[in-house]
Each structure stands twice: as C-alpha cells, then as structure tokens.
C-alpha cells in the first residue's frame, strides 16, 4: 500500500485525502509515496507557531535549547539505519547518506556544542562592548540580540532531505524561534521520517516544529516582519519567493541559497605528476559523483592551465569510467540515479545547452548501463564531461547549471584569465584552489574571494584531513553572492543570529547592568563585607567587589622577576635603553609581574568555594609601572554563567589595576570556577 505522507500541524499529524501527488522511486519509477497539503490551515499553523511555539522556546535559555538539540541528535543517531534504507529510493548510496543523514545529525551536535560553549545561559545575547555616550559616563549604549517573535519558514531542496532540513532547524531552534519546515516533494518521505522521529522523541516544546509534506499553499501570505523565510533551490523559485507580496511588503527576512556554478581551479604549478594535480582529479571526480552530482556545492567548472587541459581530461576520463552507476543499495555501486526522471530530463536539457558552446569529451547523457537497475524506469545517468574551447567568450558554461554528474573543463593562459573565468559564474557558494605555490594561492584567493561564500585551498599538506570542496560545515558560512542567492546559513553563531533582532539599548550603567546581568563600568560596585572568593556561586551577585591594599614595586622585585623567569628584556634591565624607548620613562615592571602581584593582592589563600582560575581575557597594559610605584586592585563580579556540570558555575570578574595616582595600569577579565555545593 502506497505511503501517504502526513503533515504535522498544530501538534498533531494530518493525513490528506485529496489532491495527492505521486512520488516515484529514483531506482525503478514505482510510486513510493503520495503527498498533498489540501485541507491544511496554514494561517492556523503560523498562529500556532507564534502563540505557542515561540513563547515556549523563548522561555528557555540558550543552554536549555542546546541540550534539546543534543538530545535530538542522539535520538536520530539511534534510528539512522532506518533512514539509510528509506533514502535509497531517492538515489542515495551509503556514501551519499553519510553526507546527508550523518551530516544532518552532526549539525545538530555542532550547534548544541556551540550553544553551550559560546552562548550565555540567558535568553538574550549582549553583543560587543558598551559605547560611551556621555562625558561623565552616566549614559551609555550597547547592543543586544533577542529572538524574533515570529516563525521561521524553511523551504528545502530535494537533494539533501535530512541535512538540508536540520542545518536550518538547528540554528533556528537554538535562537528560540519556532519552525515550519517544507521539504521538496520529490524526497519528502525521508524528511517526514526524520520529523516523525523528532516528534516521537518528545524533546521540543509544543508548537516548536511543524512539517508540510506538499505545496506551501497560502503559507507565505501570512508572514510578517517578525518572520524569516529561508530557501534552498532554483533561482527561479527563489525569485518567486522573494517577490511574493507579503515577503516584500513586510520586509520578511529572506535567506536564499540557490544555483551555483562552482569552480575548481588548478594552479599552473600543479602539473601532471604533482600531488596537487592528483588531488584535483580525485576531488573533481568525487564532486561529480557524490549524490550523482546533485549538490549545490558540486564542481561545475573545471578551470585548468591550457598546458594541462589534455592531461586533466584524460585523467578524469579514466577515473570516471571506473565509477559503477546503478542501484544505490548495492555495495559495488558508487553512484546512484538522479532523484527523479524529471530531474534527469532537466539535466540532459542543460547538457544540450552547454554543448552548444562545448564538446562532450566523456560520457553520453542519453546512454547509461546501470548495475542492478533499469535505464528506462529509473533515473540513472552516466557522468558527462565537457570541454569549452573558448571559455572567455562562451556564455552557457558559465550560466547553465546541469544539476547532475556534469562538469565542463575550461583552459586558461594566465592567472588573470583564470580570475576572469571564475568571475563569469556571477557568484558561487564555493570554489577550490589546488596549488603549492604561495604566490599563486594569494593571487587566486584574493582575486576571487569577493565572488564566493567559501574558498577551499587543497594541497599536499592538508589533503589528508581536508573535508573537501563540497562539504558545508556548521562552523563556516554556507551561502554566496549574486547567482548563489546572496544568503548565508550556518557559519557558527552567525546562523543563529539570523533569527534574532539586534537592538541598541541606551541608559545608565546601573540600569543596563541590571537588564543584562553583566556589570558595566560606572554601575554600582558595592564592596563585599566578606571576600567574594569565600562565597559559593549562587551567593555571588553581579557587582560584588573587593578592593585590595596596595603594594609598592621595587627595583629588586623587577630584577628578581627578570632573573627568575628569564625575561631580561632591556626595558626592565637597562635604564638608558629604556629611556630611549618612547613608551617608557626608564626601567619598568614586567606586565606579568604586575599580574602576579595583582593576584597576590586579591587572592584569598584559604580553601573555599573558589575552585580554579581557568582563564584571562581582554588583557591590556595601559600605563607603565616604574620602581617605587604602588599598585592596588579592584575585582568585581562581571557576569555569572552555569557550567556544564551542576556542581559549579563560571564567574567572570572585571579586574582593574591602579597605581598610587588612581591611574589604570592594567585591565582584564579573570575567569574562575566556583562551587555550588
């Protein structure tokens, strides 16, 4: 019995009864699922996200949301074998599933880790340092990031039904924004299975995730300026979404990742026989055949020195001929079919357009002999390699994307020509450069960086551990200018901040310190009756302060420190040389001597709840300390954060070191762990 895909709306599953569209298997054309959204109330889904999902997520801290992502990753990992089996009908081999299914789960883990490590245990982010807005410091400003009060609508492509959904979902949920996700219908049965596992896990709060299997209906009509629309797919669909009346009228945040004629550039030094030449050939073949070339990051344009053109074509032909195409469930198959016969038809048509200005030098887009598959009922297509003889004047190879196992070789005479060829792609997600010559690498990288969201430099030194040309990573930006859509996804916390509003807040240091739970210079800093190091984490308050007695630094202190540490830099040991230095009045104390003496002034020596000093941030030495100067320290609780383990918490202290005249000589932030038990 054919599987009818369910949508998940208003925290319940909805099974359509009319308007069903058949979804065929890429292997043999049989109908594997049917989908429709007829009967879905999209306006109610949007309201539910805003009124139920949004408030529930915003009540949680970043750390709590990060923990949910980690739990989701663990749950999906336990069930990924079932997803692997289901994905075969999309044409995915085991190798393809590693990128899609394991890659998607890995993105959940990556954002869970970043949320815990890089975001506060709060519901907002303070971005950057305060801005002084008044002469006496009683009026300041700063920027905060808070979750938008809307819904994130994610419209995904067919090629990565798992990763494409989860790489958008993870940063949105971490930001505190509910999601309505809509996969491409052609592979929606895999996305549905992932969502069913997520709902089954009962980890996300009500309203945090809704799922659409089929068309979006009037969903976009209900979007406002508090919403985000994120899309991956074709340029034509991207334009239609961007130009939607509600999207343009309400300035809905729009993130697009679309068509991309990505390039791989072989440096003139990377001649046949060099490691870089071999790495180039291997990477091009991999990018042409993983997911049957159906990757937005796949290599479409192979840009090589004309002197190496024949060698490159010959080497690629040998490697491509050794790639078995067929049933992706077979262990001896390296490349499966395209996602559908409609996709194969579109790819063949694109090859014909490119071939008007190029010649096919390997493969036949109309012929394939699949292993364990049927060429007529399945969507199989053999790899096709073209060569463009006049790439500087050609149009189609730089403008038409054959979204399959297809790439075009283009020769260049000079590096300047190579830069022109890359730029003719009018903006791409990624380009890769293969050279061992530092001058070539510099000219290529800074010549093409403006046209790309990501650049990969592969050579003999990094190849073994390189993640390759076509692998978007959670910590790096995925997106690109121009033809690639102008959007950005992931990129570490950059992807999270797409779903948040940056707001400038102005007020007194006291008011802003209270709001942000972070002590700011000029805010009250009450002296503690008892040393703050004797207080457990939960008993400490932001602003708690200790001021120390002073200590005079002598010439003997400086000389002892110099000989004890080995730091006999002339500014500490040679009076005449020090005076000749425009920064010093004569011999001065070592910066680290000042820090050491400062610690001696503020440390409480007895055992207590302070467990460890684990770091120091933002250190600046602001004024030299001469023999005879006396230093003292003011130490203030700047911020508190819960740690990964409940037994302790992290405390950030503002440490300011003064001389006898009240001038600041050093300032930094001290990081400690304090017990909670």
d(CA 445, CA 440): 8
β-bridge pairing 428-434 and 452-458: parallel
d(CA 562, CA 622): 21
Q: Which residue in the list 162, 167, 192, 257 is annotated as catalytic?
A: 257
Residue 627 CA, distance from chain mean position: 50
Q: Do residues 442 and 453 touch, judged by C-beta distance below 8 A? A: no
Q: Which residue in the list 167, 287, 296, 443 is annotated as catalytic?
A: 296
Catalytic residue at 366?
no
Q: Do residues 373 and 337 touch, judged by C-beta distance below 8 A? A: yes
For 111-143, the DSSP string reads HHHHHHHHS-SSSSEEEEEEEE-STTSSSEEEE
d(CA 550, CA 653): 19
For the four alpha carbons of 302, 306, 308 and 314, in that order, the dihedral sign comes to positive
Tokens representing 402 are 């054959």
Strand-by-strand arrangement of the 179-182 sheet: 12-14, 7-9, 209-211, 179-182, 152-155, 228-232, 253-257
Q: Do residues 268 and 293 touch, judged by C-beta distance below 8 A? A: no
Q: What is the DSSP letter of 90?
A: G
Task: Say which residues have a Cβ less than 8 Å from residue 472's Cβ, sequence separation at least 6.
Answer: 167, 297, 429, 430, 454, 478, 489, 490
Catalytic residue at 296?
yes
Q: What is the DSSP letter of 5?
A: P
Q: Do residues 368 and 320 touch, judged by C-beta distance below 8 A? A: no
Vertex 647, ends 644 and 649: CA angle to 5°?
A: 60
Which of 497, 479, 492, 471 has the alpha carbon at shortest distance from 152? 497
Tokens representing 584 are 């010093």
Element (H, E) at 456: strand 452-458
Q: Please state at what angle helix 163-175 crosses helix 103-118, rounded to 10 degrees.
A: 20
- Using CA atoms, how far residue 131 sits from 137, 143, 504, 653, 667, in Å, is 10, 9, 10, 20, 17
Q: How many other β-carbons are positioned within 10 Å of the β-carbon of residue 566?
A: 6
Query: Coil, strand or helix: which one is 156?
Result: coil
Tokens representing 160 are 């990565």
Residues labelled as active-site residues: 257, 296
């Amino acid at each position: 019995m054919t599987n009818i895909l369910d949508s998940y709306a208003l925290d319940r599953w909805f099974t359509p009864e009319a308007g069903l569209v058949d979804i065929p298997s890429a292997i043999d054309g049989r109908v594997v699922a049917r989908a429709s959204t007829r009967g879905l109330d999209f306006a109610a889904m949007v309201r539910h996200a805003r009124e139920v999902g949004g408030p529930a997520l915003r009540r949680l801290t970043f750390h709590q949301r990060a923990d949910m992502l980690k739990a989701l990753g663990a749950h999906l990992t336990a069930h990924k074998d079932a997803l692997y089996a289901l994905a075969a009908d999309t044409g995915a081999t085991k190798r393809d599933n590693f990128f899609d299914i394991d890659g998607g789960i890995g993105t959940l883990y990556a954002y869970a880790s970043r949320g815990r490590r890089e975001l506060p245990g709060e519901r907002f982010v303070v971005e950057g340092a305060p801005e002084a807005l008044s002469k006496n410091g009683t009026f300041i400003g700063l920027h905060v990031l808070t979750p938008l009060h809307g819904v994130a609508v994610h419209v995904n492509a067919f090629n990565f039904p798992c990763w494409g959904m989860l790489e958008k979902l993870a940063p949105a949920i971490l930001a505190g924004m509910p999601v309505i996700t809509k996969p491409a219908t052609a592979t929606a049965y895999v996305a549905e299975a992932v969502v069913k596992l997520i709902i089954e896990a009962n980890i996300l709060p009500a309203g945090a995730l809704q799922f659409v299997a089929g068309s979006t209906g009037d969903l976009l009509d209900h979007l406002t300026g508090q919403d985000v629309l994120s899309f991956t797919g074709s340029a034509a669909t991207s334009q239609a979404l961007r130009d939607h009346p509600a999207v343009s009228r309400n300035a809905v945040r729009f993130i697009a990742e679309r068509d991309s004629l990505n390039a791989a550039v072989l440096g003139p030094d990377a001649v046949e026989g060099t490691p870089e030449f071999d790495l180039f050939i291997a990477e091009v073949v991999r990018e042409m055949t993983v997911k049957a070339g159906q990757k937005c990051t796949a290599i479409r344009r192979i840009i090589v020195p004309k002197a190496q053109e024949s060698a490159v074509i010959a080497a690629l032909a040998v490697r491509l001929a050794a790639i078995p195409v067929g049933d992706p469930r077979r262990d001896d198959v390296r490349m499966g079919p395209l996602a559908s016969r409609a996709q194969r038809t579109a790819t063949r048509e694109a090859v014909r357009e490119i071939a008007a200005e190029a010649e096919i030098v390997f493969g036949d887009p109309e012929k394939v002999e699949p292993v364990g598959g049927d060429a007529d009922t399945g969507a199989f297509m053999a790899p096709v390699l073209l060569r463009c003889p006049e790439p500087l004047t050609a149009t189609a190879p730089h403008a038409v994307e054959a979204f399959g196992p297809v790439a075009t070789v283009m020769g260049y005479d000079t590096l300047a020509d190579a830069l022109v060829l890359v730029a003719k792609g009018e903006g791409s997600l990624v380009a890769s450069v293969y050279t061992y010559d530092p001058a070539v690498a510099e000219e290529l990288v800074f010549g093409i960086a403006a046209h790309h969201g990501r650049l990969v430099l592969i050579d003999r030194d990094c190849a073994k551990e390189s993640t390759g040309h076509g692998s978007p990573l959670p910590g790096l930006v995925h997106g690109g200018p121009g033809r690639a859509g102008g959007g950005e996804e992931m990129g570490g916390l950059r992807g999270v901040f797409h779903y948040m509003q940056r707001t400038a807040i102005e007020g007194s240091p006291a008011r802003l310190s209270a709001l942000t739970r972070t002590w700011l210079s000029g805010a009250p800093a009450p002296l503690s009756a008892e040393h703050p190091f004797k207080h457990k984490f939960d008993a400490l308050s932001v602003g708690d302060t200790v001021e120390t007695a002073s200590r005079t630094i002598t010439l003997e202190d400086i000389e002892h420190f110099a000989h004890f540490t080995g730091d006999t830099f002339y500014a500490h040991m040679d009076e005449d040389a020090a005076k000749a230095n425009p920064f010093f009045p004569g011999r001065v104390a070592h910066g680290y001597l000042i820090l050491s003496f400062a610690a001696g002034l503020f440390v409480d020596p007895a055992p207590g709840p302070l467990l460890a000093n684990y770091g120091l941030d933002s250190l600046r030495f602001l004024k030299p300390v001469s023999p005879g100067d006396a230093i003292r320290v003011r130490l203030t609780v700047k911020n508190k954060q819960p740690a990964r383990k409940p037994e302790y918490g992290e405390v950030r202290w503002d440490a300011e070191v003064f001389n006898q005249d009240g001038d600041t000589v050093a300032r930094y932030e001290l990081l400690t762990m304090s017990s909670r038990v």
